[in-house]
Amino acid sequence: MADEFRSNEPHDRLTRLCDTMTKALTADLEYEGNEQVIVFLNDGENCGIQLHGYEDDMMAIVDLMLHMRAIFRANGKDLMIMPLNGGANS
């Protein structure tokens, strides 16, 4: 997975679609400006993701994991996340 990189600008079809979805959200009358959003798209071959409203990517990861756990629990399963190497960076 060496092709991943972080960019502040959309760089392909899926990230442009993510950007369009985020722009639609911020244009909505109910948007208050304090919402934190993760837009994730997958077309079966590639993925696009956009984070909006997060100051720190790690907080987005925490929110994503909490939502994933809720999806698992809603399906009668449990999701446990355990760090490798005691959580130390490799």
What are 39's two structure tokens? 């837009």
Determine the Cα–Cα distance for residues 12 and 46; give it in Å rounded to an integer: 10
Residue with tokens 């919402």: 35
- Quick: pLDDT tens for 34-61: 999 999 999 999 999 999 999 999 999 9
Residue 48 backbone phi and psi in degrees, to 5: -135, 140
Supply the pLDDT for residue 89. Answer: 58
Supply the pLDDT for residue 1. Answer: 45
Determine the Cα–Cα distance for residues 60 and 52; give it in Å rounded to an integer: 9
Q: DSSP of 4-54, one letter per residue?
A: ----SS--SHHHHHHHHHHHHHHHSTT--S---EEEEEE-SS-EEEEEES-
| pTM for the model | 0.77
Q: Tell whether the model's pLDDT for residue 81 goes beyond 60.
A: yes
Q: Tell whether the model's pLDDT for residue 86 goes beyond 80.
A: no
